[in-house]
């Protein structure tokens, strides 16, 4: 999209995912994102997504899609700390968004998840590091 942010996803020797990098607001930037397509995971009777994470005291977003080809996704923000913690995000609270704008559509109510993303977009130049142990439906 023209921005100057840089990021990567890697795996530690302990098996944790590490989403890290640097956000730049230059050239209409201001965010970094990592995404994983899932081949339509059934939600069943699950009501929430839990992330076991260790952050850097910054705010991140969990974004999901029920169809990866849709332009919009469903968003829930979470605050991190420098300690391992479990963050729970209710599926019904995930609101529709496109390019940072909330859409006039219903909150998430699908029966499958086709894509999961983690995004940082705090409108400032900053480095970041988020360790991810698990992301699971509960």
* Domain range enclosing 44: 6-137
Residue 107 counted as domain residue: yes
- Is residue 21 in some structural domain? yes
Alpha helices in 1-138 (DSSP H): none
pLDDT by residue (tens digit) across 71-130? 999 999 999 999 999 999 999 999 999 998 999 999 999 999 999 999 999 989 999 999
**Whole-structure pTM value:** 0.94
Query: What average pLDDT does the chain have?
Result: 95
Is the Cα dihedral 74, 42, 71, 106 positive or negative? Answer: negative
Look at residue 89 and tell me if it is in a domain.
yes
Number of domains in the chain: 1
Residue 44 lies in a domain: yes
In the structure, what pLDDT confidence band is assigned to residue 28 with cuts at 50, 70 and 90?
confident
> Would you say residue 1 lies in a domain?
no
The yes-or-no verdict on residue 1 having pLDDT over 60 is no
Q: 42 lies in a domain?
A: yes
CA–CA distance, 77 with 99 (Å, rounded to integer): 15
What is the 3-class SS of 64-89, one letter each residue?
EECCCCCCCEEEEEEECCCCCEEEEE
Instruction: Residue 94: give its domain's CATH number.
Output: 2.60.120.430
**For residue 50, what is the enclosing H or E element?**
strand 48-54
Q: Note the pLDDT of residue 110.
A: 96
């Amino acid at each position: 999209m023209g921005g100057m942010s840089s990021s990567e996803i890697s795996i530690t020797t302990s098996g944790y995912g590490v989403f890290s990098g640097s956000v730049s607001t230059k050239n209409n930037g201001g965010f970094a994102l990592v995404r994983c397509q899932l081949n339509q995971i059934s939600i069943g009777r699950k009501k929430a997504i839990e992330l076991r994470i260790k952050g850097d005291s910054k705010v991140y977003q969990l974004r999901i899609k029920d169809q990866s080809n849709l332009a919009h996704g469903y968003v829930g923000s979470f605050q991190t700390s420098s300690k391992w913690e479990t963050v729970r995000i209710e599926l019904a609270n995930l609101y529709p968004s496109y390019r940072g704008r909330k859409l006039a559509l219903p909150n998430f109510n699908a029966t499958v998840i086709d894509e999961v993303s983690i995004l940082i977009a705090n409108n400032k130049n900053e480095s970041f590091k988020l360790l991810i142990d698990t992301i699971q439906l509960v």
